[in-house]
Structure 1
Amino acid sequence: MSTTIATEIDVRTIPPYERHAQIFGQFDALEAGQALVIVNDHDPVPLRRQFAARTPGQFDWTYLEAGPALWRVQIDKTSNTAQEGGSCCSGGACGG
């Protein structure tokens, strides 16, 4: 499957307290097979951990540029749902 870059976000221009919310909002709007690229002045390791906890099995993380002054990371949306057990209905929890 070919990946389409939907948007590039330069997080250096966003106030720190808004960055992750904006990134997750953009990611959530993507379809599977689309990607976003973030540009930052440091390695966004905490963001990657949040992605792993929040959207397990739904993304790929690729460094396009890795410092020392600039980081560019491509985040591919691999699916719109978690691979296993990611649904609120798993085990009939939501009655659906």
Structure 2
Amino acid sequence: MSTPTAKSTVDVRTIEPRFRHPIIFNTFEELQPGEFLLLVNDHDPAPLRYQFEAERANQFAWEYIEQGPEVWQVHITKKAA
């Protein structure tokens, strides 16, 4: 059985902080239900998860793939409507 491949990878480590969340949300909106993006960050993106919960409740699944200390990776899957 093969491991699913991310539809998109968003590595925000080199992106100016004020642009990070808009880029991630725009990428998420382009996903089809069942597809996921791989988020790569240099810290725990917990504030982003809280924003997803507030703005996209029940529309996503969040799974940590790597939890630091230097690199954090998260699968953010778009759920079916």
Runs in 1 of length 4+ with deviation above 4 angstroms? none
Q: How does 1:28-47 map to 2 (within 5 A)?
A: 28-47=29-48
Q: TM-score, normalised by structure 2?
A: 0.91
Q: TM-score, normalised by structure 1?
A: 0.77
Structure 2: state its 5+ residue gaps. none
- 2: CA distance between counterparts of 1:69 and 1:58? 28
**Aligned equivalent of 1:48:** 49
Larger radius of gyration: 1
- 1: CA distance between counterparts of 2:48 and 2:18? 13
The answer to whether the Cα contact below 8 Å between 1:4 and 1:33 also exists between their aligned partners in 2 is no
Q: Report which structure shows greater RCO (CA 8 Å, sep ≥6).
A: 2
- CA deviation vs aligned residue, 1:6-47 (integer Å, no higher than 9, x gap): 111110121100000000000011110100011001000100
For the aligned residue pairs, the C-alpha RMSD in angstroms reads: 1.5
Q: Is residue 2:59 matched to residue 1:58?
A: yes
Count of equivalent residues = 79
Deviates more, 1:4-13 or 1:43-52: 4-13
Structure 1: state its 5+ residue gaps. 82-96
**Aligned equivalent of 1:89:** none
Percent of pairs with identical residues:
49
